[in-house]
A = this chain, B = another copy of it.
Amino acid sequence: MEFPNTGDFLAGRLRDKLSQDDLEFIESLVAETRQGETGDVLLERGAVTEQSTILISGYIFRTIESGDRRFIVGVHVPGDFVDLHGFALKRLDHSIVAAGPITYGIAPHERLRDALEHRPRVARALWFATLLDAAIHRKWIQMLEQLDAPRRIAHIYCELHRRFELVGQANARSLRTPFTQIDLADMCGVSAIHANRAVGKLRELELAEIRRGDLYTSDWDALRTYAQFQADYLYGDGPLRFDQDWL
């Protein structure tokens, strides 16, 4: 996988909506870039942190451990500020874990505090980023309340595909991920065996082929219809589109 230039990727989808000056400021937030591998815990639930993480390449899970089970409550794609809320909450209610090989940037909270004080537009962009996370959480709640396992898996891939589109990284016929069927199960709240059945069903319906986490499809629209995926909650184009005047 190619790693995009760090600078080209920061601020993710808000990149087009900020001034050159603000963008340079956001780039200056990153003190350092690092690499991580599958399962690396970037931030443990309850740990105090003095820095936040910006994902540059790869995927990151938000996980909650309960008993001997792991639950995935969110997924991040390149360009996302992954634990920005750790800046305000100090200790997170969940852990931040690499879902495969990743590259990420470190933003010390000291510099974020500075942004809040002196850069109102940057401060609002950061707030917007956390509000978008919350909107995605709400959609996951609805997805879990409404859809069966095959549709949940399809919905997750459709969402990720759209999020890649919004940062200009989507592929026309596939979506590459390092997710195992166990990961999919932990996202959907089903057993790994049932996640396997669900993947088989998508294959049987000829909607998508999922191999080692990579999804291939010849018809994203059919998949989206099957998953009842409506992208508006991501605040891209369309009726709910994000109003940049606010920044």
CB within 8 Å of B: which A226-242 residues: 228, 232-233, 235, 239-240, 242
Q: How far is the CB of A198 from chain B (nearest CB, A)?
A: 14
CB within 8 Å of B: which A97-145 residues: 116-117, 120, 123-124, 127-128, 130-131, 133-135, 137-142, 144-145
> Which of A2-10, A85-93, A169-177 contacts its partner?
A85-93
A188 touches B (CB below 8 Å): yes
Instruction: List the B side residues contacting A137 at CB < 8 Å.
Output: 134, 137-138, 140-141
Instruction: List the B side residues contacting A246 at CB < 8 Å.
Output: 88, 90
Residue from the list B66, B135, B144 in contact with A89, Cβ < 8 A: B135
**Number of chain A residues close to chain B: CB under 8 A:** 48
Contact B189 A235 (CB under 8 A): no
A34 touches B (CB below 8 Å): no
A163 touches B (CB below 8 Å): no
Q: How far is the CB of A126 from chain B (nearest CB, A)?
A: 9
Instruction: List the B side residues contacting A74 at CB < 8 Å.
Output: 138, 141
Contact A85 B189 (CB under 8 A): no
Bound form: Cα–Cα A235–B85 in Å:
13
Bound form: Cα–Cα A146–B127 in Å:
30
User: Which A residues contact B (CB, under 8 angstroms)?
Assistant: 46, 62, 64, 66, 69, 71, 73-74, 85, 88-91, 93-94, 116-117, 120, 123-124, 127-128, 130-131, 133-135, 137-142, 144-146, 186, 188-189, 228, 232-233, 235, 239-240, 242-243, 246
Given contacts A88-B131, A145-B186, list 19 more A-B pairs with CB under 8 A. Answer: A46-B239, A64-B138, A64-B142, A66-B142, A71-B146, A73-B138, A73-B142, A73-B145, A85-B131, A88-B128, A88-B246, A90-B243, A93-B138, A93-B235, A93-B240, A130-B134, A141-B141, A145-B189, A146-B189
